[in-house]
Chains A and B, each alone.
Chain A
Amino acid sequence: MPKSSIEAVKAHQKTIRNFSIIAHIDHGKSTLADRILEKTKSIATREMKAQLLDSMDLERERGITIKLNAVEIKYTHTDDQIYTLHLIDTPGHVDFAYEVSRSLAACETALLVIDAAQGIEAQTMANVYLALDNNLEIIPVINKIDLPSANVEAVKKDIEDILGIPGNEAILASAKEGKGIDEILDRLVNYAPAPKGNPEAPLKALIFDSIYDSYRGVIPSVRVVEGMLEKGDTIRMMANEKEYIVIEVGVNTPKQQPREYLGPGDVGYVVASIKSVENVRVGDTITHIEDPADKPLPGYRELTPMVFCGLFPTDASRYNDLREALNRLKLNDASLTYEPESSQALGFGFRTGFLGMLHMEIVQERLEREFNIELIATAPSVIYSVHMHDGTTKVIDNPADMPDSQFIDEIEEPFVAATIMCPKEYVGNIMELCQSKRGEFNTMEYIDDNRVQILYDLPLLEIVYDFFDKLKSSSKGYASFDYEFKGRRASTLVKMDILINGEKVDALSVIVHRDFAFKRGKAITDKLKEIIPRHMFEVPIQASINNKIIARSTIKAMRKNVLSKCYGGDISRKKKLLEKQKEGKKRMKNVGNVEVPQEAFLSVLSLDD
């Protein structure tokens, strides 16, 4: 590249500002992003769907960001200089903490959005730590100052006391009313650092996301850190050494717009006929084959699923459709794993791995909504390391696969380090909850006069089970929660089987702590008694451990139907009712001669025990 071009790249680099918006859920991140896009006229307002960056329907419905997006904004500042702002969106959920950290690694600056009424929450802290880990400049923004319950001074004090950032530096904003947006843009231009990086150094481009395009393959989103990335380059993914020829580079505005090259600080996309999402790992570094970087950018790690469940098509004939659908989702989601599983009760399906509970819900919902596949999902499980008497270790992600206890030396389960923040009056409730969930107390500190941060180590199993719901109810919704994987610990866990009419139902087996087994066994059998309809015969429901029955409930035999009278010769209504009942039956699974509704397979969750 000629010297003059290099100079142009360097000059451009000085006008770039890369930033993310980080916030606790519901603190108004997406609305703020919308306002920034509007203000900079990045997109015609009328064309803009509410919260454009959250482009999937599901995301909009849930008001959360799942899939990352980056958008290039041209902004003419009051000094008449045109700045290139890259807004890199981050998912707002603990399941996707790694993706968040890689997005942040692509930025120099983070806008930290804090709700003026809610103040600092657990996720706010987690995000701040991630931002600090990535050496980002933090610009605090106190949002929703229009709310009657806003308490700006208290939040400023929090920012100062808890985050150690001068509170008076916080920008006061109301994204809803468009207040504070100019100030944010001004601060980005004047205080946020321009990206460093030498255009003449060997190429290092960070992959922080990818999308799948059915014509052009997997398209990674990248931030160039050093060097230049151009069309025609031969590139290498440093983690897995796959090599590709670049067909196109460009930026998202948010539509894809081809560019000649991407230089240091640029955020854009790379088209290189990449067939498999497996080869585009978030956090990996792209370099050139010739004159490669000597080492990749720091921070890459392989994502491993934390939560597993069985997914089975309600209609067995749609097994191949389900495989195809999972395959399609995986194109865009490297962290989704699946392998065939067969269950006596549910037939053929897939053992599917997820980053966390939200990820699991999203995948299930997309399968049902976008691919029209009705699913039966089994209760989620975590991964156990099972040390056998013979010295071998088995990795078990499906309770049904748990070996017989007589061969087991010890079972290890995953623990997380949990951070819970709540108003002080709920401390008692929350500690009681954590204790009842086998938590190990680490520390507790007052973050201000009113609010407390509690740190616990908790088994992931309990979090997967019902911790979120319980936390909500024991704090009237005021507690916020964040966690990260901490390690594995040995626990006295047992496999509990459920028998319906004397038949063991593999898909209902669960792993429980021995101390909770009786209580949970009773809760599950009682719940199943409610869910499973009456049959023409009595149906016993039993919970057993090592073939010993520990709990039982009985579904009484059916006695009388509701028989409509067909009065006045109206047979149509009768038929409609029969159709409805038939439909209902179709959605059930046969366990021996007992018809079991789908929700039964999730009944081991959300029990009122």
Chain B
Amino acid sequence: MDALYIHIPFCAQICAYCDFAKEITNTDKRKTYMKHLFNEIKSHEDELSNIHSIFIGGGTPSILDEEDLSGLFNTLKAVGLKEVEDITIEANPSDVTPSFANLLKRLGVSRVSLGAQSFNERQLTFLKRTHAPKDIRHAVDNLKNSGIFNINLDMLFGIPYQSLDALNHDIDCALALDVTHISYYSVIIEENTALSLWIEKGMVEPVSEFLEAEMFETVIQRLQKEGFKHYEISNFALPGFQSIHNTMVWKSEDYLGVGTGAHSKWRNKRFYNVRRIKEYNERMESDLSPIEAYYPYEPMRDFLLMGMRRIEGIELSEFKARFGVEVLEAFPQLKESLDQGLIHLDSHRLNFTYKGLFLGNEVFMKL
């Protein structure tokens, strides 16, 4: 089973914490990009027969207009992807008008991931998000009215100046919207973001490790109590609504990424596309590959780095079947992590303990 990732690198405003490939751009450039994106998808026509999941991410895919989106879905149909049932698109809450929600439904989108981040006005402003808390509620309503019920909220904790009370309020609001899936990420100070600059200049104080840990615990306990299964370090779903696409990535299935900055693990290779829209367009214009570089594919290590993110961890039998060795033979250094109580091993699987979920790098670093 394979997955397809489609990157839409446009944004109306750059969020303070974001370091994904994205640019603010005009309509002309966007149309040119979309044309080339369709061509890139078409260039893979022969390889896409086994695609079971499509994820349209960004950037801000909801910035696309009807023409762009119809063009994209027509292209997908043209390369034989009309039967794919799992299609997720990311959306900025303020973009999800009733008509946009209806458009998504009409095109065959099965799941929408809303970049909610927080329900606190001041925090949204601080993060340089363009939406207000009410936009999130409206977006969810509009999606449900259009017939899309499989909705994810992307949320953040550990936002500078966020209190534990504010977090609890965010969780209350998220739960009240009755969605199927919540991704709860901690704010990461990535290089080359506004946030890292603020912190470097001493304008913003990052959240302490201890508060962040307390927040993570709060998120886990509260969501679990409301029936959400904690199935990946940062992901929570109602029964039957785990992200199919991301689960395929974590399970080391092949995925092909198209568009700027998209990463692929495809037929025993790992590679990624150029990040800049201009360069991407130029390359496609000249019939050149958009791939910027290949990087080492380390099947066993990657299998663990990705697989251990799932709360279930990895299945020992699958590891043995794929690589012909037991996991502890391949990585005897994991015994130390076992002794430290960070990971758990039984006759079937290897996974993080509750403590280990907080300290994953201590294990990953040994691999």
Interface centre among A564, A566, A577 (most CB of B within 10 A): A566
Q: Does B249 contact A (CB under 8 A)?
A: yes
Q: Does A247 contact B (CB under 8 A)?
A: no
Q: Are B306 and A566 in contact (CB under 8 A)?
A: yes
Residues of B within 8 A of A581 (CB): 361, 365
Which of the candidate stretches B116-124, B130-138, B207-215, B343-351 sits at the interface with the other chain? B207-215
The one of B234, B263, B360, B364 that contacts A568, using a Cβ cutoff of 8 Å = B263
Q: How far is the CA of A111 from the CA of B249 in the complex (A)?
A: 75
How would residues 524 to 552 of chain A score, 1 for a CB under 8 Å from any chain B CB and 0 otherwise?
00000000001010000000000000000
Q: How far is the CA of A517 from the CA of B178 in the complex (A)?
A: 62
Residues of A within 8 A of B342 (CB): 536
Residues of B within 8 A of A556 (CB): 210
Q: Are B263 and A569 in contact (CB under 8 A)?
A: yes
Interface centre among B209, B216, B255, B272 (most CB of A within 10 A): B209
Q: How far is the CA of A427 from the CA of B270 in the complex (A)?
A: 67
Q: Does B36 contact A (CB under 8 A)?
A: no
Q: Are B362 and A568 in contact (CB under 8 A)?
A: no
Residues of A within 8 A of B209 (CB): 534, 558-560
Q: Does A77 contact B (CB under 8 A)?
A: no
Q: Are B57 and A560 in contact (CB under 8 A)?
A: no
With A536-B340, A568-B57, A569-B5: A559-B262 Cβ-Cβ less than 8 Å: no
The one of B263, B309, B364 that contacts A572, using a Cβ cutoff of 8 Å = B263
Residues of B within 8 A of A568 (CB): 5, 7, 20, 57, 257, 262-263
Q: Are A572 and B270 in contact (CB under 8 A)?
A: yes
Interface centre among A559, A568, A577 (most CB of B within 10 A): A568
Interface centre among A560, A562, A571, A572 (most CB of B within 10 A): A560
The one of B234, B257, B264 that contacts A565, using a Cβ cutoff of 8 Å = B234
With A568-B20, A578-B364, A581-B365: A560-B213 Cβ-Cβ less than 8 Å: yes
Q: How far is the CA of A568 from the CA of B263 in the complex (A)?
A: 7
- The size of the chain B interface, using a CB distance under 8 A, is 39
Q: Does A574 contact B (CB under 8 A)?
A: yes
Q: Are A565 and B185 in contact (CB under 8 A)?
A: yes
Q: How far is the CA of A560 from the CA of B364 in the complex (A)?
A: 14
How would residues 562 to 586 of chain A score, 1 for a CB under 8 Å from any chain B CB and 0 otherwise?
1111111111101101100110010
Q: Does B334 contact A (CB under 8 A)?
A: no
Residues of A within 8 A of B249 (CB): 566, 569
Q: Does A406 contact B (CB under 8 A)?
A: no
**Interface positions of A from 371 to 402, Cβ below 8 Å from B:** none
**Interface positions of B from 182 to 220, Cβ below 8 Å from A:** 185-186, 188-189, 209-210, 212-213, 216
Q: Does A561 contact B (CB under 8 A)?
A: yes
The one of A558, A572, A578 that contacts B295, using a Cβ cutoff of 8 Å = A572
Report the number of A-B residue pairs with Cβ-Cβ less than 8 Å: 84
The one of A562, A566, A585 that contacts B309, using a Cβ cutoff of 8 Å = A566
Closest residue to A574 on the B side, CB-wise? B305
Q: Are A560 and B358 in contact (CB under 8 A)?
A: yes
Residues of B within 8 A of A561 (CB): 358-362
Q: How far is the CA of A581 from the CA of B7 in the complex (A)?
A: 30
Q: Does B45 contact A (CB under 8 A)?
A: no
Q: Are B263 and A563 in contact (CB under 8 A)?
A: no
With A559-B213, A569-B255: A585-B188 Cβ-Cβ less than 8 Å: no
**Interface positions of B from 233 to 269, Cβ below 8 Å from A:** 233-234, 249, 255, 257, 262-265
Residues of B within 8 A of A578 (CB): 361, 364-365, 367
Q: Does B302 contact A (CB under 8 A)?
A: yes
Q: How far is the CB of A202 from chain B (nearest CB, A)?
A: 69
Q: How far is the CA of A100 from the CA of B357 in the complex (A)?
A: 63
The one of B213, B216, B272, B358 that contacts A570, using a Cβ cutoff of 8 Å = B272
Q: How far is the CA of A201 from the CA of B342 in the complex (A)?
A: 84
Q: What's the dominant secondary structure at chain B's contact region?
A: mixed
**Interface positions of A from 489 to 538, Cβ below 8 Å from B:** 534, 536
Q: Are B358 and A559 in contact (CB under 8 A)?
A: yes
Closest residue to A537 on the B side, CB-wise? B340
Residues of B within 8 A of A565 (CB): 185, 188, 234
Q: How far is the CB of B65 from chain A (nearest CB, A)?
A: 23
Closest residue to A582 on the B side, CB-wise? B365
Q: Are A559 and B210 in contact (CB under 8 A)?
A: yes
- The size of the chain A interface, using a CB distance under 8 A, is 25
Q: Are A575 and B305 in contact (CB under 8 A)?
A: yes
Q: How far is the CA of A562 from the CA of B213 in the complex (A)?
A: 10
Q: How far is the CA of A19 from the CA of B306 in the complex (A)?
A: 72
Closest residue to B297 on the A side, CB-wise? A571
Q: Are A571 and B305 in contact (CB under 8 A)?
A: yes
Closest residue to A559 on the B side, CB-wise? B213
Residues of A within 8 A of B367 (CB): 578
Q: How far is the CA of A577 from the CA of B272 in the complex (A)?
A: 18
Q: Are A563 and B255 in contact (CB under 8 A)?
A: no
How would residues 148 to 186 of chain B score, 1 for a CB under 8 Å from any chain A CB and 0 otherwise?
000000000000000000000000000000000000011
Q: Are A563 and B365 in contact (CB under 8 A)?
A: no
Q: Are B295 and A536 in contact (CB under 8 A)?
A: no
Q: How far is the CB of A425 from chain B (nearest CB, A)?
A: 31
Q: How far is the CA of A556 from the CA of B208 in the complex (A)?
A: 12
How would residues 445 to 480 of chain A score, 1 for a CB under 8 Å from any chain B CB and 0 otherwise?
000000000000000000000000000000000000
Residues of A within 8 A of B189 (CB): 562
Residues of A within 8 A of B255 (CB): 569
Residues of A within 8 A of B188 (CB): 562, 564-565
Residues of B within 8 A of A570 (CB): 263, 272
Q: How far is the CA of A563 from the CA of B264 in the complex (A)?
A: 21
Residues of A within 8 A of B20 (CB): 567-568
**Interface positions of B from 252 to 293, Cβ below 8 Å from A:** 255, 257, 262-265, 270, 272
Q: Are B264 and A560 in contact (CB under 8 A)?
A: no
The one of A534, A558, A560, A564 that contacts B216, using a Cβ cutoff of 8 Å = A560
Q: Are A558 and B359 in contact (CB under 8 A)?
A: yes
Q: How far is the CA of A582 from the CA of B362 in the complex (A)?
A: 10
Q: Are A563 and B361 in contact (CB under 8 A)?
A: yes
Q: Are A569 and B264 in contact (CB under 8 A)?
A: yes
Q: How far is the CB of A494 from chain B (nearest CB, A)?
A: 37
Q: Are B360 and A571 in contact (CB under 8 A)?
A: no
The one of A558, A562, A566, A572 that contacts B186, using a Cβ cutoff of 8 Å = A562
Residues of A within 8 A of B270 (CB): 571-572
Residues of B within 8 A of A534 (CB): 209
Interface centre among B270, B359, B367 (most CB of A within 10 A): B359
Q: How far is the CB of B239 from chain A (nearest CB, A)?
A: 23
Residues of B within 8 A of A575 (CB): 305
Residues of B within 8 A of A564 (CB): 188
Residues of B within 8 A of A571 (CB): 263, 265, 270, 302, 305-306
Q: How far is the CB of B86 from chain A (nearest CB, A)?
A: 16
Closest residue to B216 on the A side, CB-wise? A560
Q: How far is the CB of A171 from chain B (nearest CB, A)?
A: 48
**Interface positions of B from 314 to 354, Cβ below 8 Å from A:** 340, 342
Residues of B within 8 A of A562 (CB): 186, 188-189, 361
Q: How far is the CA of A561 from the CA of B213 in the complex (A)?
A: 9
27 A-B residue pairings within 8 Å (CB atoms): A534-B209, A536-B340, A536-B359, A558-B209, A559-B209, A559-B212, A559-B359, A561-B360, A561-B361, A561-B362, A562-B361, A563-B233, A565-B185, A565-B188, A565-B234, A566-B309, A568-B5, A568-B262, A568-B263, A569-B5, A570-B272, A571-B302, A571-B306, A572-B270, A572-B272, A572-B295, A578-B361
The 7 closest A-B pairs by CB, nearest first: A559-B213, A560-B213, A561-B361, A570-B263, A560-B358, A569-B249, A569-B263
Q: Which residues of A contact B (CB under 8 A)?
A: 534, 536, 556, 558-572, 574-575, 577-578, 581-582, 585
Q: Which residues of B contact A (CB under 8 A)?
A: 5, 7, 20, 57, 185-186, 188-189, 209-210, 212-213, 216, 233-234, 249, 255, 257, 262-265, 270, 272, 295, 302, 305-306, 309, 340, 342, 358-362, 364-365, 367
Not counting A559-B212, A572-B272, A581-B361, a sample of 12 additional A-B residue pairs whose C-beta atoms are within 8 angstroms of each other reads: A559-B210, A560-B209, A563-B186, A563-B233, A563-B361, A565-B185, A566-B306, A568-B5, A568-B257, A569-B255, A569-B257, A569-B263
